[in-house]
Chain A
Amino acid sequence: MLQENIIRRLESMVGEENVENSNASLLAYSYDSTPQFQAMPDAVVSPRNTEEVAAVVRLCNEEKIPIVPRGSGTNLCGGTAPLEGGIVLLFKQMSKILEIDEENLTMTVQPGVYTQDVHKAAEEVGLFYPPDPGSMHISQIGGNISENSGGLRGLKYGVTRDYVLGLEIVLPSGEIIRTGGKLAKDVAGYDLTRLYVGAEGTLGVVTEATLKLIPMPEMKKTMLALYHDIEAAAETVSAMITNRIIPATLEFLDQATVKVVEDFAKIGLPTDAKAVLLIEQDGAPEIVERDVEKIETLCRENGAFEVTVAATEVEAEALTTARRAALSALSRLRPTTILEDATVPRSEIAPMVKAIREIAEKYELNICTFGHAGDGNLHPTCLTDIRDKEEIALVEQAFDEIFKKAVELGGTITGEHGVGAMKLPYLHLKAGEAGIEAMRSIKQALDPNNIMNPEKIFTKSVVIDK
Chain B
Amino acid sequence: MMDAKEKERIQNNFKEKMDYEEILNCTRCGFCLPSCPTYIETGKDEVHSPRGRIALMKGLVDGDIEPSEEVKRSIDLCLGCRACETACPSGVNFGHLLEQARDAIYQTNEKSLPEKVVRNVAFHHLFPHQNRMIGLTGLLGMYQRSGLQRVARSIGVMNLFPETMRTMEKVLPEVPKKKEMKQRPRHYAPLKKQTKKVAFFSGCLMDTVFKTTNDATTKLLQYAGCEIVVPELQGCCGALHGHSGEREQAKEMAKRNIAAFEDAGVDYIITNAGGCGAFLVDYGYLLKDDPVWQERAAAFAAKIKDVTSILVALDFHNMPLQLDEQIVTYQDSCHLKNGQKTFMEPRQLLESIEGVTYVEMHDASRCCGSAGIYNIVESEMAMQILDHKMEQAKKTNAKTIVTANPGCLLQMKLGIEREGLADEMEAVHIVDLLLRAYEGGREKMRFEEMDSGGHAGA
Contact = CB atoms under 8 A, between A and B. Distances in A.
Interface of A: 20, 22-33, 35, 38, 40, 72-74, 90, 92-93, 114, 135, 137-138, 263-264, 325, 327-329, 331-332, 335-337, 385-386
Nearest to A329: B89
B91 interface: yes
Contacts of A32: 28
A69 B49 CA distance: 19
Nearest to A92: B44
Interface string B43-69: 111110100100110010000111010
A20 to B, nearest CB: 8
A27 B27 contact: no
A71 to B, nearest CB: 10
Given A28-B52, A332-B91, A386-B24, A23 B65 contact: yes
A25 B29 contact: no
Given A22-B68, A33-B29, A138-B33, A325 B89 contact: yes
Given A22-B70, A137-B31, A138-B34, A336 B24 contact: yes
The 4 closest A-B pairs by CB, nearest first: A328-B89, A24-B70, A325-B89, A335-B24
Contacts of A263: 91
B235 to A, nearest CB: 35
A40 B62 CA distance: 14
Given A135-B29, A264-B91, A328-B29, 14 more contacts: A24-B52, A27-B64, A27-B65, A28-B47, A28-B55, A30-B55, A33-B28, A325-B31, A325-B89, A328-B31, A328-B90, A329-B90, A337-B27, A386-B24
Contacts of A31: 28, 55
Contacts of B33: 72, 138
Given A137-B34, A332-B91, A24 B25 contact: no
Interface residues of B, number: 33
Contacts of A331: 25-27, 90
Contacts of A30: 55
Contacts of B74: 24, 28
B21 interface: yes
A23 B90 contact: no
B90 A25 contact: no
Given A31-B28, A264-B91, A23 B70 contact: yes
A452 to B, nearest CB: 21
B334 interface: no
Contacts of B56: 24, 27-28
25 contacts: A24-B52, A24-B65, A24-B70, A24-B71, A25-B45, A25-B47, A27-B56, A27-B64, A28-B49, A28-B56, A28-B74, A31-B55, A33-B28, A38-B64, A40-B64, A73-B28, A74-B30, A92-B44, A135-B30, A138-B34, A263-B91, A264-B91, A328-B29, A329-B90, A385-B24
Interface of B: 21, 24-31, 33-34, 43-47, 49, 52, 55-56, 59, 64-66, 68, 70-71, 73-74, 88-91
A419 B73 CA distance: 36
A74 B89 contact: no
A38 B65 CA distance: 13
A23 B66 contact: yes
B70 to A, nearest CB: 4
Nearest to A322: B89
Nearest to A332: B91
Contacts of B55: 27-28, 30-31
A260 to B, nearest CB: 8
A343 B88 CA distance: 28
A30 B91 CA distance: 23
B25 A335 contact: yes
A33 B30 contact: yes
Max count, chain A CB within 10 A of own CB: residue among B33, B46, B52, B70: B46
A327 B27 contact: yes
Contacts of A328: 27, 29, 31, 88-90
Contacts of A327: 27, 29, 89
B138 to A, nearest CB: 44
A227 B372 CA distance: 50
B31 A92 contact: no
A332 B25 contact: yes
A99 B71 CA distance: 39
B27 A23 contact: no
A20 B88 CA distance: 27
Nearest to B48: A28
Contacts of B70: 22-25
A319 B209 CA distance: 46
Nearest to B71: A24
Contacts of A114: 34
A263 B64 CA distance: 33
A386 B26 CA distance: 13
Nearest to B29: A328
Contacts of B24: 335-336, 385-386
Contacts of A25: 45-47, 70
Given A138-B31, A138-B33, A335-B24, A29 B46 contact: yes
A40 B47 CA distance: 14
A385 to B, nearest CB: 8
A358 B73 CA distance: 50
B105 to A, nearest CB: 13
Contact of B43 (A29, A92, A336): A92
A40 B27 CA distance: 18
B63 to A, nearest CB: 12
A135 B87 CA distance: 13
A22 B56 CA distance: 12
Nearest to B59: A27
Max count, chain B CB within 10 A of own CB: residue among A29, A135, A328, A337: A328
Given A22-B70, A28-B56, A33 B27 contact: yes
Nearest to A29: B46
Contact of B29 (A20, A74, A90): A74
Given A332-B25, A335-B21, A23 B89 contact: no
A20 B25 CA distance: 28
B112 to A, nearest CB: 20
A73 B91 contact: no
A332 B89 CA distance: 8
A337 B28 CA distance: 11
B360 to A, nearest CB: 15
Nearest to A137: B34
Contacts of A72: 30, 33
Contacts of B89: 264, 325, 327-329
Contacts of A74: 29-30
Contacts of B91: 263-264, 329, 332
Contacts of B46: 25, 28-29, 73
Given A23-B65, A29-B46, A329-B89, A73 B30 contact: yes
Contacts of A22: 47, 68, 70
A30 to B, nearest CB: 8
Contacts of B59: 27
A385 B88 CA distance: 20
A80 to B, nearest CB: 11
B132 to A, nearest CB: 38
Contacts of B28: 31-33, 73
A331 B65 CA distance: 25
A24 B24 CA distance: 19
B24 to A, nearest CB: 4
